[in-house]
């Protein structure tokens, strides 16, 4: 993907939409780290299903005529709907995407952001023989492709018109899509809060398919889009609950490099923790993976999170973990949480 160097609106949006707090010199919630370039993934990382198989070469986004009218749709369907039907929908575990329709040409497009190597490869690392540290396969990226699969989105999910913009606005948004994709590289599965109250202290926000949709809507709003006021959209969150997280260090600080010894005790604890989870285990279903996580945090009252290339210790507290499916207003209709 091409990296755009002209000013982008994303960081302004984040500053406006987030309320940050500083406790003991630590900034909460932790700002999601942005990068200047995308590294090549380790050859060990394999996708069970190929990423963006019908996407445009080089991530090319269609160029609209300035006067075109472009309808924007929120698309929702249960995770792995093509395989399990509405099973994940019953648990309120949904995948989100954006549908785009040019009213002049009649052509449709879809864009979504998701993990390159499937969800649990992003949530937990791998133990690799003859390697002392865990290996992460946690990149995510945007995909843009022709068409909207009506059957997929409508059979167990929804297609909802949220706004109509001009071709000029959409072309400006295309720059944002490239920039967001080129700088936001890593999938973050979990949102971590201090409680399940209506206004919790958020320690970490997830960075997943639904947060891409929220950023997309916010960017459109900044470009002048007006959203429907009669639409309510809910989003899935995998939430963990803990007291204030403790920073342990990055991979090199903990596991050592170039002859340094790192932190052997912490390294041992992390490897023991991650041994409880097997990202590529074909014998385990999505739901079984979730049950293993919930069982562990309830029994052990601890969790280790990898966020911004750093390891964090989470002192877990009741209710420990939840899957929530809650409304977040469209821009201009309330406070938007990224």
As annotated, the active-site residues are 95, 209
Cα–Cα distance for residue pair 219/111, rounded to 1 Å: 14
| CB 255, CB 306: distance < 8 Å | no
Tell me phi and psi for residue 28, to 5 degrees. Answer: -125, 140
Tell me phi and psi for residue 16, to 5 degrees. Answer: -75, -35
Cα distance between the two ends of the chain? 24
At 316, is the secondary structure helix, strand, or coil? strand
Burial of 324 (0-12, 13-18, 19+ CB in 10 A): middle
| CB 96, CB 209: distance < 8 Å | yes
Residue 312, number of CB atoms within 10 A of its CB: 20
| CB 237, CB 295: distance < 8 Å | no
| CB 107, CB 223: distance < 8 Å | no
Residue 127, number of CB atoms within 10 A of its CB: 13
| CB 213, CB 96: distance < 8 Å | yes
Instruction: Find the DSSP H helices in the chain.
Output: 10-17, 81-84, 87-90, 119-123, 150-155, 167-183, 209-222, 251-255, 264-274, 286-300
């Amino acid at each position: 993907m091409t990296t755009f160097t002209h000013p982008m609106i994303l960081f302004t949006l984040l500053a406006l939409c987030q309320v940050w707090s500083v406790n003991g010199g630590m900034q909460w919630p932790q700002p999601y780290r942005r990068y200047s370039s995308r590294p090549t993934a380790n050859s060990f990382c394999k996708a069970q299903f190929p990423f963006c198989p019908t996407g445009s070469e080089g991530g090319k986004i269609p160029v609209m005529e300035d006067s075109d009218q472009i309808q924007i749709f929120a698309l929702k369907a249960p995770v792995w709907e093509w395989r399990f039907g509405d099973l994940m929908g019953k648990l309120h575990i949904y995948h989100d995407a954006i549908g785009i329709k040019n009213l002049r040409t009649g052509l449709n497009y879809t864009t979504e952001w998701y993990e390159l190597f499937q969800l649990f490869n992003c949530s937990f690392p791998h133990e690799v023989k003859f390697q002392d540290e865990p290996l992460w396969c946690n990149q995510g990226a945007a995909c843009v492709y022709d068409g909207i699969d009506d059957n997929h989105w409508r059979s167990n999910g929804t297609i909802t018109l949220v706004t109509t913009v001009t071709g000029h606005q959409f072309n400006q948004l295309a720059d944002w899509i490239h920039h967001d994709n080129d700088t936001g590289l890593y999938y973050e599965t979990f949102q971590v809060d201090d409680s399940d109250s209506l206004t919790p202290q958020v320690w970490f926000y997830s960075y997943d398919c639904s947060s891409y949709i929220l950023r997309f809507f916010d960017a459109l709003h900044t470009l002048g889009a007006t959203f429907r006021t009669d639409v309510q959209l809910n989003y899935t969150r995998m939430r963990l609950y803990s007291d204030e997280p403790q920073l342990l260090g990055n991979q090199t600080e903990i596991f050592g490099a170039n002859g340094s010894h790192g932190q052997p005790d912490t390294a041992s604890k992390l490897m023991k923790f991650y041994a409880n989870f097997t990202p590529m285990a074909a014998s385990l279903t999505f739901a079984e993976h979730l049950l293993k996580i919930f069982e562990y945090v309830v029994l052990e009252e601890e969790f280790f999170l990898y966020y911004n290339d750093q390891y964090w210790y989470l002192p877990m507290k009741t209710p420990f973990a939840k899957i929530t499916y809650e409304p977040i207003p469209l821009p201009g209709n309330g406070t938007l949480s990224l």
